[in-house]
């Protein structure tokens, strides 16, 4: 635990962040479990990148809706993937 001086107690802010971190872990676990997503999904290199990008955008970030995801987001990825395969 980070401490400002040797022997000092952890700050309240740090302890609150620890609770928030545990709640976040719980939500990620629930999402994977109740969606039937295999846990090896977390080995995907984009898993961490996804959370980092959300952090950069900030607390007001709203995830894409089902319609938006299945619409232009996945369509754009399909086009990009097809282009990359053709370049091989």
pLDDT digits 0-9 by tens, 46-87: 999 999 999 999 999 999 999 999 999 999 999 999 999 999
pLDDT confidence of residue 2: 47
| Domain match, 49 and 29 both | yes
Q: What is the DSSP letter of 19?
A: H
Whether 48 and 67 share a structural domain: no
Same domain? 37 vs 71 = no
pTM recorded for the entire structure: 0.66
- Say which residue the tokens 């976040």 belong to: 24
Per the domain annotation, does 45 fall within a domain?
Answer: yes
- How far, in Å, are 3, 21, 35 from residue 56 at the CA level? 26, 17, 25
Q: Per the structure, how many domains does the chain have?
A: 2
Containing structural domain, residue 84: 63-88
The answer to whether residue 9 scores a pLDDT higher than 80 is no
pLDDT tens across 71-81, in order? Answer: 999 999 999 99
Q: How far apart are CA 25 and CA 33, in angstroms?
A: 12
Whether 51 maps to a domain, the answer reads yes
15 and 51: one domain? yes
Alpha carbon distance 42, 4 (integer Å): 33
């Amino acid at each position: 635990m980070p401490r400002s001086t040797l022997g000092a107690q952890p700050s309240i802010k740090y302890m609150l962040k620890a609770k928030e971190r545990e709640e976040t872990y719980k939500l990620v676990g629930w999402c994977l479990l109740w969606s039937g997503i295999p846990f090896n999904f977390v080995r995907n290199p984009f898993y961490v990148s996804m959370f980092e990008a959300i952090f950069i955008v900030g607390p007001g970030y709203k995830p894409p809706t089902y319609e938006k995801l299945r619409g232009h987001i996945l369509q754009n990825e399909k086009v990009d993937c097809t282009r990359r395969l053709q370049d091989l």
